[in-house]
Amino acid sequence: MNDLIGVVDWSRAQFALTAMYHWLFVPLTIGLALIVAIMETIYVRTGNERWKNITKFWMTLFGINFAVGVATGLILEFEFGTNWSNYSWFVGDIFGAPLAIEGIVAFFMEATFVAVMFFGWNKVSKGFHLASSWLTAVGVCLSAMWILIANAWMQYPVGMKFDPAQMRNVMDDFFAVALSPVAVNKFFHAVACSWVLGGVFVLGVSSWLMLKRRNIEVAKDSIKVGSVVGLVGILATCYTGHGSAVVVSEVQPMKLAAMEGLYEGSVGQSIVAFGVLKPDAEKTPDDPMLFSIDIPKGLSYLIYADGDSFVPGINDLIAGRTITAEGDTVYGQSYEEKMALGMNVRKALADYGMAKKTGDEAAMKAAADAVAKDFDNFGYGYLESPEDAVPPVGMSFYAFHIMVYAGGLLLLVLLVTVWFAWYRSRYLEKTWFCVIGILSVAAAWICGEAGWVLAEVGRQPWVIQNLMPTNAAISGIQPSSVQLTFWIFALVFTALLIAEVSIMLRYISRASKSDIATNH
């Protein structure tokens, strides 16, 4: 058992390490790809060589980031086979499909048109080169889309059925998988967040150039494009973020309760605007908040657009308790009952295996029917107690609120930046504003990483929601092997990050000593 816990913990840590490093690069790639395409469009429409050189400057930064992002992404996908082989077998027919499409279509699309972007200047027509830039921007979004569809399916498994003969899930509705509400919201939310990071990155680099008093007009023009993309992105992020919260309340209510630190739900549930959890909040669930400022009925209105709706807390969900509009307390299926049903499914699978060995087709059919009846609760059969289904409340709570605070700050910064860029450009040169622009880059990355922490930690202990917990998904390997590769990956990824930042800084530093508008 100790070895099992070690493998689970180290495998989760390794995957988290890889995913968080990878997400440093992916949103910047998506955001910069769009900005580069817009800038090149301006060049083609105006014929102004100055915009061609500005485009090349940002395209180079895009290329540096793109290369490192590909390296980390490949390792991330390989980990499903090395560390999570039970998971890969259990749902490989479903999870593998979007990954295969991502590799075959999107990746090759990106590779082809990225090459034209960087090496096609003066070798192909302006129109073809511009089309390649836009197709690259589309390609990176498509690549992200299939990965996000795969991740969304883990959060909300639909479009499949379990085949006891194979002891695995098989896809029976591709469009249900690809177009589930979780997948749609997750894709648009992630892309919008990427536009924010791309826009803020342009703002930060341009602000640094203005602090150095070089390429000021280039920096201002770049901020005009970047700030508009960033503002559109942050507005879309707010909209899709609300949509994601509504979907989470429907398919992952425990995640919603955890991210609000809510143990006892109520009709007209307030939302925590600012709060601090007690250090032992998970041991004192009746009163988890050390201090909080609440918005009355905020959570009920956010989720149901009705301030008098009931929002369940962690204890309500465990007990299967809800409160009707009339104020009556009603009990549905508790987590203990779900665990019992999950154990029944496990027993039925064992019965199916025995019947298959003896060739008893009637017994096989009866066992298969028993599996299908309660399969939605299959994963609960691997839990030792109902509390095992509660995610880390503290991490979920703080990740959510950090994400919201950082997003609110970015909204304010981008609103001011757009106003300055288009109507009061002299303020862009102010030292205080340049410092804010540079610091905003960190805020954008923190916001994105916090969002992914919430998405992944908030669904624990599930690898596949309700169907497979992490302790049932791992490979049969030694903890020492995972520990070794964890530290190797940590070293390699850190080296890659340092290399990327170093190359970018040298390139940007060189831009502060030359004229971007004429030297590219």
Residue 270 and residue 298 in contact, taking contact as beta carbons nearer than 8 Å: yes
**Which of these, 511, 414, 497, lies nearest to 59 by C-alpha position?**
511
CA distances from 497 to 199, 395, 501, 505 (A): 20, 25, 6, 12
pLDDT on residue 314: 92
Q: Count CB-CB contacts under 10 A for residue 456.
A: 20
Backbone angles phi, psi at 214, to 5 degrees: -140, 140
Which pLDDT does position 343 carry in this prediction? 93
Could you tell me the two tokens for 430? 């102010």
Place of tokens 């496990």: 346
The residue type at 197:
L
CA-nearest of 466, 453, 452, 449 to 389 is: 466
pLDDT in tens, 320-374: 988 877 777 888 889 999 999 999 999 998 888 898 888 888 888 898 899 889 9
pLDDT computed for residue 219 by the predictor: 87
* pLDDT tens, residue by residue, 20-40: 888 888 899 999 999 999 999
SS3 assignment, position 214: coil
Share of residues in the chain with pLDDT > 90 (%): 41
Ranking 284-293, 310-319, 371-380 by mean pLDDT, the lowest is 284-293
- Cβ-count burial of 45 within 10 angstroms (0-12 exposed, 13-18 middle, 19+ buried)? exposed
**Distance between CA atoms of 439 and 410, rounded to whole angstroms?**
10
- Residue 514: pLDDT band by 50, 70, 90 thresholds? low
Residue 352 φ then ψ, to 5°? -65, -45
Q: Count of CB atoms within 10 A of residue 403's CB?
A: 24
Distances (CA, A) of 249 to 254, 303, 355, 376: 8, 7, 40, 18
pLDDT score, position 1: 47
The number of helices, as runs of H, and strands, as runs of E, in the chain is 17, 10
Phi-psi map region of 139: left, alpha, beta (phi>0 left; psi -120 to 50 alpha): alpha
Give the Cα separation of 241 and 392 in Å (integer): 21
Q: CA 72 to CA 91: how far, in whole Å?
A: 23
- Please name every residue paired with 171 in a beta bridge, in sequence order, or none if there are none: 160
Residue 160: left (phi > 0), alpha (psi -120 to 50), or beta? beta
Whether 300 and 310 have beta carbons less than 8 Å apart is answered as: yes
Of the pLDDT bands very low, low, confident and very high (cuts 50, 70, 90), residue 180 is very high
- Residue 494 has a CB neighbour count (10 Å cut-off) of 12
**For the chain, which residues make up each domain, given as ranges?**
2-251+395-519, 257-329, 335-386
pLDDT at 186 over 60: yes
Mean pLDDT is lowest, of 8-12, 52-56, 180-184, 234-238, for 8-12
Contact, 77 vs 468, CB < 8 A?
no
| pTM for the full predicted model | 0.90
What tokens appear for 465 in the block? 């929601």
Is the omega angle on the peptide bond into residue 296 within 30 degrees of 0, that is, cis?
no
Report whether pLDDT(317) > 90. Answer: yes
Closest CA to 428 of 234, 198, 204: 204
Name the average pLDDT for the chain: 87
- Output the six-digit token pair for 169: 């899930």
In this structure, what token pair is assigned to residue 9?
């913990």
Q: Give the span between the Cα atoms of 57 and 90, in whole angstroms.
A: 46
Cβ proximity of 17 and 486 under 8 Å: yes
